[in-house]
Amino acid sequence: MTKLYKKSEITFAILWIVVYVVLSSLADQLSETVGVTKSVTAALQIVMSLILFFWIRNNHLNGKYGFCRSEVPAKRFLYYLPLIIIASTSLWGRARLQYGFPEAFLFMISMCCVGFLEEVIFRGLLFRAMEKNNLKSALIVSSLTFGIGHIVNLFNGSGKDLPSTMCQIVFAVLVGFVLVLIFYHGKSLIPCILFHSLNNALTVFTTEGSLSPQTEMIINLLIIAVVLGGYIFYLIKAFPMKEEHSR
């Protein structure tokens, strides 16, 4: 693994993306076959997370991939309040668990691992591999590939239809851009991992309201787009790229 990384960081990142997406999709299908949601998936993703974590630590890459405190005070990132608002959307309305125990527990474990893996792979491996050649391209590609990767939900048996998948892709692209900006300026992946894991884990809840699911989805997406759009505008204004390069 280390030999491939030293030979080509971009190839290493792409390989991890493919392995993660393919194995996670297969594990989801096996979990459904077993009859316990995320049973196989959670076990697989725990193993993948441990492999990636210890590989980074053993190769002394903690600083490069953001396993450290942020160089920027939380105040300058508005205490990450926009991200907290976004993560709380799963609790808007009358929230209830989608699954019983132990499926809810396995789901949350899996989602926390997804938060770790996707941040390390997309914001860490992929972004860092491209950043040294072209920063703007790295920012855009990291966000777009993260978002477009969610199209796999149409084929992995998750039950997502085209409209909800497209909304998820738009959401993921916006979130991806926010998180890569936070990582680039703060040099820490920890806030990104924490948000991503919490946001994913809270989807174990479903809400019941007076509006139709389609109407709620549109309203939530509009609110999310406004919050994330405003946050992106703030981050770009508060952390000009020219200043970053001149330091």
Residue span of the structural domain in which 68 resides: 2-246
pTM equals 0.91
Tell me what pLDDT residue 245 has.
41
Q: How far apart are CA 146 and CA 170, in angstroms?
A: 10
Give the amino acid at 39.
S
- The model's pLDDT over 10-57, given as tens digits with 9 standing for 90+, comes to 999 999 999 999 999 999 999 999 999 999 999 999 999 999 999 999
Helix (H, G, I), strand (E, B) or coil at 160: coil
- The model's pLDDT over 47-83, given as tens digits with 9 standing for 90+, comes to 999 999 999 999 999 999 999 999 999 999 999 999 9
Tell me what pLDDT residue 218 has.
77
- Residue (of 12, 187, 174, 196) closest to 110 by Cα position: 196
Helix (H, G, I), strand (E, B) or coil at 169: helix
Tell me what pLDDT residue 246 has.
36
pLDDT band at 92 (very low <50, low <70, confident <90, very high): confident
Number of domains in the chain: 1
Q: Is 96 left (phi over 0), alpha (psi -120 to 50) or beta?
A: beta
**Range of 20-29, 40-49, 84-93, 235-244 with top mean pLDDT:** 40-49
Strand ranges for the chain from DSSP E: 94-97, 205-208
Tell me what pLDDT residue 212 has.
67
Q: Please, are residues 222 and 156 in contact by the beta-carbon 8 Å criterion?
A: no
pLDDT band at 148 (very low <50, low <70, confident <90, very high): confident
Q: How far apart are CA 143 and CA 145, in angstroms?
A: 6
Tell me what pLDDT residue 170 has.
87
- The model's pLDDT over 128-139, given as tens digits with 9 standing for 90+, comes to 999 989 999 999
Tell me what pLDDT residue 164 has.
73
- The model's pLDDT over 170-191, given as tens digits with 9 standing for 90+, comes to 889 999 999 999 999 999 999 9
Range in 77-86, 160-169, 218-227 the model is least confident about: 160-169
